[in-house]
Structure 1
Amino acid sequence: MKVSFPVSNLRKLVFTKTLVNLVIFYLPFLIILLLSSWQTQIPVHVLTRDIFADLEAPVYTGLISNLGILTWCCSAVVCLFTFFVIQPSTGTAKKIKNCLGWFGLISAWMMLDDFLMLHERVIPTRLGFPEKGVIILTLGWVIFHVFHYRNLILKRTNFPILGLAFLFFASSLLIDRLPFEVDYIGSESNLYFILEDGSKLMGIATWCFYLCRLCYQQIVYSENSYYPGDNLK
C-alpha cells in the first residue's frame, strides 16, 4: 500500500525546520542585545553606534588593523565551515578535519584578541593577568597545535607557506620588543609602524592563504574520490 505525502506537507516541514534554524541563529544576537539593554554601567549608544560616529574619528582610522581582523575572521570562518561540512571516510581525513577545526578556533581567538584588545587591555585590567602571560599562553597553544599535527602539516600540506606566516609574526613580535621610542604624532616612526604592523598583516594574510587553500583541497577531496588526497600541495 502506497502512502501519499503531499507536496504541501513537505513544504511545511522544510519551512518549519528553516524557521527553527533561523531562531537558533538569532539567539546569540538577541542575547547580546538584551544584555546591552539591561546593563547600566555602559551607555547603550557606546555599544550600538559606529565607532567613527561616536568618536568623530576619520573613517580610515585603524584601516590596516581592521583589515587584519577581517582576515582573521576569514580564516576562522573558512576553517570552521570546512570542519562542519566535510565528512571524513578515513582516519587520516578525520585528523585533517580536527586539525582544521583547531586552526579555526585559534584564528577566532586571534580575531577577538585584535578586535577587543584582549591581551593588551581587557585581560590585564579586568582579570589581572599580565599581558606577557597571555602572549605566552597563545604562543604555547599555537606551538602545541602545530607539534601535535606535525606529521599532517609536514607531509600533507604546503607547510613552507605556514612557515612563512610564522616568520612574519616573529618579525612583528621582535620589532615590537625593540628598545625604540615610538612617536605617535610625528612621522619619525612611520617606518617602525610599517615594519611592525605590516609584518603582522602579511603574517595574517599568509596564514589565511594557507588555511583557505587547505580547506579548499579538503572540500574538493570530500566530493571527488579521485582527488589525490595523499599528496596535497
Structure 2
Amino acid sequence: MSAKAQTHSPKAPAGRWHRSEAGTIIAVLLVSVAILASLVVADRVFGIDYYDLVRDPNAIARNPGYFGIVSNIGIIFWIVGATAALQAFAATFVEGATPLTRTLLAGGLFAALMGIDDFLMLHEAVATMGIPEEVVLLPHMILLGALCSCAYSVRAATPRLLLVGSVLSMGLSFATDMAPVHVGGATFVEEAFKLVGILFLTTYLVAISHQALRHGGALKRPAIG
C-alpha cells in the first residue's frame, strides 16, 4: 500500500453535512426574523421607535463613548466566562455528569445570569417596582451557592483560590453597595471590587473549562484536600 493510500482519509458523507448546515442556516434565519419582527411590533404596536432599539445608547443620548465603559468591560468578561464554561459543559457532558461538569454548568449559568442582568439592568428595573433588592437577587445567590458547592468537591484539582478571590471581591462589592453610609468614592470602591470579582471568576471558569476539554470531563470522584 502506498504512502498516499495510507494517509488518505475517507470523505465525510456530504449529504449529512449539507442537511446539518441547512438546519443551522434555517435556525439562524428564524432567530433573525424573530428579533426583527419584535422591532416592528415594538414600533407599530407599542409606539417605541425602532431607532431607539437598534442604535447604541450613548449615540442616542449623545453621550461620550466612554460612558459606562467599565460596566461594558465587566459584561464582556461575564459572557466570556459563561460561554467558556457552558461550551465545555456541552462538550464533555456526553461522558456523564461529574463534579467538574456540574461546576461548569453552575458557573456558566451564574456568569450568564450576571452578564444578562448587568446588560439589561434587570434587578434594578424589578427593584423599582417596590421589591427589595435582596429578594430580586435571590436567583443570583442560589446559582452562586450551587457553584461554590460543586467547586468544593473538586477543590484540590482546580485553581480554587481564583474562585475564593471572586466570591470575596463580589461579597465586598455587595456589602459596600448595601452599606447605609455614603461617602465620597464609595461607588468607585464598589465597582472596583465587582470588576476584580468578575475577572477572578472568568479566569477560574476559563481555566476549568480548558481542564475539562483536555481531560474529557474527568475528576469523576470528589477531590479531597
TM-score, normalised with respect to structure 1: 0.79
Matched residue type, 2:111: S
User: Are 2:39 and 1:33 aligned?
Assistant: no
User: Are 2:140 and 1:138 aligned?
Assistant: yes
Matched residue type, 2:143: W
Instruction: Please list every run of 5 or more consecutive structure 1 residues that lacks an aligned counterpart in the other structure.
Output: 1-6, 183-188
Q: What are the within-5 Å matches in structure 2 for residues 56-205 of structure 1?
A: 56-87=62-93, 89=95, 94-121=98-125, 123-125=126-128, 129-147=131-149, 149=150, 151-181=152-182, 189=184, 191-205=185-199
- Report deviation, 1:103: 1.3
Q: C-alpha offsets along residues 111-153 of structure 1, whole Å, 9 cap, x if unaligned?
A: 11111111111x2346x53322112442233224423x25424
Q: C-alpha offsets along residues 89-112 of structure 1, whole Å, 9 cap, x if unaligned?
A: 4x6x63321321121111111011
Structure 1 range deviating more: 38-47 or 63-72: 38-47
State whether residues 86 and 108 of structure 2, in contact with CA within 8 Å, keep that contact through their aligned partners in structure 1.
Answer: yes
Superposition CA RMSD, Å? 3.0
Structure-2 change in CA distance of 1:151 and 1:203 (3 Å): closer
Q: Which residue of 1 aligns with 2:6?
A: none
Aligned residues: percent identity? 26
Aligned match for 2:27, one of 14, 24, 28: 24
Q: Which residue of 2 aligns with 1:54?
A: 60
State whether residues 99 and 222 of structure 2, in contact with CA within 8 Å, keep that contact through their aligned partners in structure 1.
Answer: no
State whether residues 172 and 197 of structure 1, in contact with CA within 8 Å, keep that contact through their aligned partners in structure 2.
Answer: yes
- Report deviation, 1:209: 0.4
Q: Distance in 1 between matches of 2:93 and 2:176?
A: 42
State whether residues 106 and 146 of structure 2, in contact with CA within 8 Å, keep that contact through their aligned partners in structure 1.
Answer: no
State whether residues 99 and 151 of structure 2, in contact with CA within 8 Å, keep that contact through their aligned partners in structure 1.
Answer: no
